[in-house]
Structure 1
């Protein structure tokens, strides 16, 4: 699995209990064989994109606050592809 998608998977694991879309995205990520974050993002529907657009900025901010620049960078890679 692509390293960026690994960070995304780990982050999404915190959102699998709610019904806002995190569980579906996590499942899609676990079941798919994506070679890159671009390939994964192209498979998302509009509802999933909206969910990630809301969730990722919070997670990127948190990673920066925790001085985890690598995680912040990798999550930002996905966030930029959503546009």
Structure 2
């Protein structure tokens, strides 16, 4: 699995209590996406909106924790959304 998508999957594991979060997580687990772009193209509008919301929060948290690697990886997906 792509490193960036691995970070995203880890992030989503904190949001499995929501149906959309589970749906996106299953996509990541069940598909072999070659890139973040392939993954993003496979999302519907609701999934994109959900990811935009949680990634904003996760990026803020990663910045506060000065986790530059996590910020970089999650930002790659966020920019594609």
Separation of aligned partners in 2, 1:18 and 1:25: 10
User: Partner of 1:45 in structure 2?
Assistant: 44
Q: Which runs of 5+ in 1 are unaligned?
A: none
User: Partner of 2:23 in structure 1?
Assistant: 24
Q: CA deviation at 1:67?
A: 1.1
TM-score normalised to the size of structure 2?
0.96
Structure with greater helix percent? 2
| Corresponding residue SS for 1:22 | helix
Instruction: Kindly report the root-mean-square deviation, in angstroms, between the aligned alpha carbons of the 2 structures.
Output: 0.7
User: Partner of 1:61 in structure 2?
Assistant: 60
Deviations 1:8-49 (A, max 9, x none): 000000001123x11100011110110111100000001000
Count of matched residue positions in the alignment of Structure 1 and Structure 2: 81
TM-score normalised to the size of structure 1?
0.94
Q: Which runs of 5+ in 2 are unaligned?
A: none
4+ residue stretches of structure 1 with deviation over 6 A?
none
